[in-house]
Amino acid sequence: MQFFLDTADLDEIRALTASGLVDGVTTNPSLIAKSGRDIFETIAAICDLTDGPVSAEVTAQDAPGMIKEGHRLADIARNVCIKVPLTWEGLIATKALSDEGHQVNVTLCFSTNQALLAAKAGATFVSPFIGRLDDTGVNGMELIGEIRAVYDNYEDLDTQILAASIRGVNHVRESALLGADVATIPAKVLKALVHHPLTDKGLTAFMTDWESTGQSIL
């Protein structure tokens, strides 16, 4: 499973990509606004920090506008992945951009039918929003499982499932168990994946025993 960081915070990206555990980055208009930086400067800086896909989202609502903005974003760096909304106009733009050889991330997916359309349009990634479905009382993980089953039924569908709107470590675990290709994760959730109380307890015991020997490895 690939891990993408869901942030436009350059300090977070710089620190976590150094671990070698980050495969890409996703941004959206809200994250860009939160950063307080210019979108072109921000995306360029992120692309310098990772060789993986960096999702940069269009803001136009019509297909011609999305395509034009997509071209502008793709010009920033070779690893930009153009992010478009899962609307009819977005699907038209996805088809055009993917036919040109651009990576496209189709976002705001909330149904299996939507995911099937995104794959038919040639999306590189489709982003089902787990957390937002959970907020409405729907089990978001069921959508991941359904999309995986549908995609696996057809060899010609090679769109990757990018689990998005992840709220905690259980979302990551369940997405991996269901076969999502990618999880896009806030920095705090990625860091939390390593924690387990028994690991901390075991390490404390090891260190106590080691100190009692009076030895040093160096």
**Domain residue limits, the chain:** 2-213
CB 69 within 8 A of CB 30: no
| Predicted local distance difference test score (pLDDT) of residue 37 | 95
Is the CA virtual torsion 115, 158, 179, 153 positive or negative? positive
| Predicted local distance difference test score (pLDDT) of residue 156 | 95
CB 67 within 8 A of CB 90: no
- In sequence order, what DSSP letters do the residues of 60-107 get, joined into one string? -SSHHHHHHHHHHHHTT-TTEEEEEESSHHHHHHHHHHHHTT--EEEE
Pick the catalytic residue from 34, 68, 83, 188: 83
CB 73 within 8 A of CB 79: no
Catalytic residue flag (residue 68) = no
| Predicted local distance difference test score (pLDDT) of residue 98 | 98
Superfamily grouping for domain 2-213: Aldolase class I (3.20.20.70)
Total-model pTM: 0.95
Per-residue pLDDT for the chain (218 aa), expressed as one digit of tens each?
999 999 999 999 999 999 999 999 999 999 999 999 999 999 999 999 999 999 999 999 999 999 999 999 999 999 999 999 999 999 999 999 999 999 999 999 999 999 999 999 999 999 999 999 999 999 999 999 999 999 999 999 999 999 999 999 999 999 999 999 999 999 999 999 999 999 999 999 999 999 999 999 99
